[in-house]
Amino acid sequence: MKTLIRTIVVLTFALVAVVPFQVQAQDGGGMGAWDGCPVPENLPEEVTIGAVFGLSGNIAAYGEPQKRGVELAVAEINEAGYLGEGTTLIAVFEDGGSDGEASIAAMDKLIAENELAAVIGPTLSAQAFAADPIAAENGVVVLGVSNTAAGLTTMNEDEELDQFIFRNSLPEANVIPNTITKSTEILGLERVGVIYGNDDDFTLSGYDAFADALEASEVEVVRTETFARGDVDFSPQLTNIINDDPDAIVVSALIAEAVPVVLQARQLGYTGPIIGGNGFNSPALFAQGGEAAEGVIVGAAWNIGSPSELSVTFTETFTEAYGAAPDQFAAQAYTGAWLVATAIRCADSADSADVREALAAIVDYPTPLGSFSFDETRNPVHEPVVQIVQEGMFKLLTEETAAQAFGE
Amino acid sequence: MDINVPQQLVNALWLGGLYSLFALGYALIFSVLGLLNLSHSAVFACGAFVGLYTACGDEVFTTTCTELDRPIWIVIPAAMIGAGIVSVAVDRVAFWPLRKRNAPRMNQLISSIGAAALLVNLLQIQFGAAQQRFPFGSIPNDPVSGLPVVITPIQITALVIALGLMFALRILVKRTRLGREMRTVAFNERVASLLGVNVDRTYMTAFFIAGALAGAAGMMYGLAFNSMTPFMGESVSLKGLTVIVLGGLGSIEGAVIGGFLIAAIEVFSVALGRSDIRDAFVFLLLFVILVVRPRGLLGQGVEDRA
Amino acid sequence: MTTLLQIKELQVSYGAIIALRGISFEVHLGQVVSLIGANGAGKSTTINTLSGLIKPRSGQVNFEDQDITGWRADRVTRRGLVQVPEGRQVIAPLTVRENLEMGAYLRRDKAEIEQDIQAVFDRFPRLKERHHQKAGSLSGGEQQMLALGRALVARPKLVMLDEPSMGLAPLLVNEVFAIIRSIKEEGKTILLVEQNARKALEIADYAYVLERGQIRHHGPADELRQNEAIIKAYLG
């Protein structure tokens, strides 16, 4: 009898604790409203996930928002008791630096020092290629939240190892064709100039995707120019491209180089469309680029102007928490943490092998990125967007916004 | 494939001004200290951020700076003075203790790398890693009208300031008491002190001037490219080294000529359609010069530097 | 006679090696005092300690009744004790004229500096001819003249010459000593450190003989030249 009363009391508490959260979640359209799995019962008091982000050096411009995204998600998950009463999710961050070696070291350290349910990161594709195999060999599932290079989740010779490598960041290869098709259709592009960073996995795979998409859309590339990471002066390349009078300039660059490319193209008198890859999708484009950013067209996995309820809530909470608007990197990292938490919840286990199974099974999960699924190669499936900068904001690219921007 | 030669010339000319300005400080320290001060690129970044802070105040720590609090003609000297002070601090912390112990040059070189890392990290802690820029319209950005080429007021300003400072530095080193003093210390500290020179003060002065030049270069970069991060010195650092090796270590004229030469090679290798192997051209030239003329274009050997 | 420089019980050591074992001597105004001794006797150590390049372990250096023990080299020079270092050490990358201007580094009286530089040129016409050349391109003798000229331009109260004849051909040695004599005749006070004892004693008013960090003999130069022991050890 005593036991029964105790059980009832405990259950009541659990209900009281969970109910307000569910109401809140539904009201605000926040994360965790997904009820695909019941509240877990068998989790330990603490479940640890690791995160390897570039938190120092140039790359911290991406790593910092990623860290914030994960921190915000973890705080929400714990507050909501998403992993069950008495279970706390802990995120351990390691600085993955800006190269492969540093990420390998960070990954080694995380795995050696913690019992991990999963790892999120690393920031750059090149780092993921270097460090992900370590996680896989140790049977720890790793979820990339910003790696967009082709072939990431099938990098190993041993397919068994690949099973542990996931990403929620749409590869450039998925975003870019959509961007080019829509832009060509709306702007009637015939000839373009291309400029890209030729010493970085991210910008290189972006360039390849652009080149293929342009060919598929039968757009002529009149000139191709390159630059290196860390360059600040792009005037010579842009002078060449502008001299050829293209209908648009296509750019594959990280944000650090993307902004000066845009500024200098405008300075050299170019007023036409500038089409960028994933790297352009950051508030820094407006803050740093100002008026010059007007008319920049960017394909993206996520748009800060996206009208979906989860996206709006995320943007508001993030802005409130950090005093700055989130970028795509924050949104994907935030979503990544929720995906991992959901897999832990559904597996009702902190064992990484179980988490892996649950993660692979996620289908149509509502996130700020849209309705989210993993495909059979553990790549993300969700609808990308094509945006154009207008009046200092990303708007969806339409006949109307295009006409306003370029005065057809 | 036609080339817009006049525009590429403009591109090369003003980029050359920036490279030279940056390399001057390297050259000056090399001529006095006889060693490469690898913290120069960090001081360069400090200059840009001192400028930014002077221009915008505390705003820079939290958000993007949108308005100038102080006019640009105060901001530039402030950046120079700030970077000069940082540079003197680097001397006192990273070089002076080693100099007192007669530590090998290599130790001082390593120490300067440490100082660079420290400065960059301090900047990152203070200002964050994200890109910053000067407010829009800090300096007129519309191209000068009526010209067949695009050249902006900031580009002209940068070139004029760069050339002006180079000229001033040349006069200072070659024609003034301070210049003689620095060249004497460069030659032999002991002899200098026997002539009544306070050697420590000479070092501090030289570091201040080199720092101020780096600060000016940092400001010009910040204004012209509108992208400043604590790591902005990294890409210029190697260029600057190349410039002074090419021009002749410790030679003021060499730094200037080297700067313009490298900028011209970079720009025209791109103009000729080979942006993919631009750096290869630069380093090929460097290699050839080192083989044919190891002292650099204008270098006169260690005995004769400065 | 006014005592210009007074050294009391000066001790210097390099780590465990004792270089000066408590030496005392004086230089009077207008005198030429020679410090002679074999290689390694401590002559250069003495002069460099006086110049402030080496810090003494104990003892005292008084200049014009002011204690200047342990002063930094540039302060000592500012005080009026100017050293012409061993091996001449002209500033090779500077021109002859710039070297002389560096000699006047601490002076601000431009017009008079110019006069003094001209006076050096009058004394050493060969330097005048080469005033635009780099000092490093001069011959050994010319460099010694330049080093002397540079010291004179500083208008020192006391000139300290460290081995001025070292490494010079015999003919040039005579020339250098002729110059030192002419400087003496102008009334300058000179402390001359010299291995060539014969020459040093010819020119000096008073001399001290250093042996292994200690003063073994001292007296008026004329007397020391007659001293049997010294003749045997240094003049033989």
- Residue C188: CATH number of its domain: 3.40.50.300
Give the residue with greater pLDDT, A13 vs C92.
Answer: C92
Token readout for B74 is 């105060």
Tens digit of pLDDT for each residue in B60-99? 776 667 778 888 889 999 999 999 999 999 999 999 999 8
Tens digit of pLDDT for each residue in B238-281? 888 888 888 877 788 888 889 999 999 989 888 887 777 888 88
What does the pLDDT read at residue B184? 93
Average pLDDT, chain A: 87
A 10 A CB-CB count for B166 gives 21
Domain borders along chain A are 32-170+306-377, 172-300+386-406
- Among the partner-chain residues C82, C85, C101, the one whose CB lies closest to the CB of B180 is C101
- Residue A393's pLDDT band, with cuts at 50, 70 and 90, is confident
What does the pLDDT read at residue A5? 52
Token readout for A227 is 């630059």
Read off the CATH number of the domain in which B205 is found.
1.10.3470
Domain count, chain B: 1
Examine the pLDDT at A32 and tell me if it is beyond 60.
Answer: no
Q: Which CATH class is domain A172-300+386-406?
A: alpha beta
- Residue A114's pLDDT band, with cuts at 50, 70 and 90, is very high
Distance CA A253, CA A276 (A): 7
- Domain housing B294: 5-304
Residue of B nearest to A61 (CA): B130
What does the pLDDT read at residue A3? 53
Examine the pLDDT at A34 and tell me if it is beyond 60.
Answer: no
Q: Are B202 and B182 in contact (CB under 8 A)?
A: yes
Length of chain A: 408
Helical axes A60-80 vs A328-347, angle rounded to 10°: 40
Examine the pLDDT at B47 and tell me if it is beyond 90.
Answer: yes
First CA to last CA distance, chain A: 80
What does the pLDDT read at residue A7? 53
- Residue A256's pLDDT band, with cuts at 50, 70 and 90, is confident
Token readout for C205 is 């008013």
Chain B residues within 8 A of A264 when measuring between CB atoms: 225
CA atoms within 13 A on the CB side of A322: 20
Mean pLDDT of A55-67: 88
Mean pLDDT of B113-123: 94
Token readout for B96 is 């002076």
Chains touching B (at least 3 CB pairs under 8 A) are A, C
Examine the pLDDT at B301 and tell me if it is beyond 60.
Answer: no
Average pLDDT, chain B: 86
Lateral strand order in the sheet of C66-67? C17-28, C3-14, C58-63, C66-67
- Residue A23's pLDDT band, with cuts at 50, 70 and 90, is very low
Chain B residues within 8 A of C94 when measuring between CB atoms: 180, 183-184, 187
What does the pLDDT read at residue B90? 94
CA dihedral B111, C92, B28, B171 (to 10 degrees): 160
Element (H, E) at C219: strand C214-220
The dihedral built from the CA positions of residue A351, A354, A360 and A366, taken in this order, carries a sign that is negative
Give the residue with greater pLDDT, C158 vs A151.
Answer: C158
Which ipTM score applies to this complex? Answer: 0.93
Q: Are B277 and A226 in contact (CB under 8 A)?
A: no
For C17, counting Cβ atoms within 10 Å of its Cβ (0-12 exposed, 13-18 middle, 19+ buried), the class is exposed
Domain count, chain C: 1
| pLDDT < 70: residue spans in chain C | none
Helical axes B232-247 vs B5-33, angle rounded to 10°: 80
Cross-strand pairs, C62:
C6, C67
- Domain housing C88: 3-235
Examine the pLDDT at B28 and tell me if it is beyond 60.
Answer: yes
Amino acid at C169: A
Which residues in A200-238 are b (16+ Cβ under 10 Å) and which e? bbbbbbbbbbbbebbeeeebeebbbbbbebbbbbbbbbb
Examine the pLDDT at A289 and tell me if it is beyond 60.
Answer: yes
Interface of B with A (CB under 8 A): 1-4, 7-8, 11-12, 15, 62-64, 121, 124, 128-133, 136, 141, 143, 150, 152, 221, 225-227, 229, 231-232, 234-235, 266-268, 270-271, 273, 275-276, 278-279
Average pLDDT, chain C: 93
User: With an 8 Å Cβ cutoff, is A227 touching chain B?
Assistant: yes
- Residue A383's pLDDT band, with cuts at 50, 70 and 90, is confident
Mean pLDDT of A222-242: 90
Examine the pLDDT at A189 and tell me if it is beyond 80.
Answer: yes
Which CATH number does A32-170+306-377 carry?
Answer: 3.40.50.2300
Q: Is A91 helix (H, G, I), strand (E, B) or coil?
A: strand
**Between chains, do C77 and B194 touch, taking CB under 8 Å as contact?**
yes
Report DSSP state, residue A225. Answer: E
What does the pLDDT read at residue A11? 47
Mean pLDDT of A333-353: 95
C-alpha to C-alpha distances, B198 to B95, B101, C216, nearest whole angstrom: 16, 17, 36
What does the pLDDT read at residue B299? 66
Mean pLDDT of A98-125: 93
**Between chains, do A267 and B152 touch, taking CB under 8 Å as contact?**
yes
What does the pLDDT read at residue B210? 94
C-alpha to C-alpha distances, A102 to A96, A229, A336, B194, nearest whole angstrom: 5, 18, 22, 51
Chain B residues within 8 A of A243 when measuring between CB atoms: 2-4, 7
Contacts of A379 (CB under 8 A, 6+ apart): A153, A167, A171, A174
Distance CA B125, CA A63 (A): 15
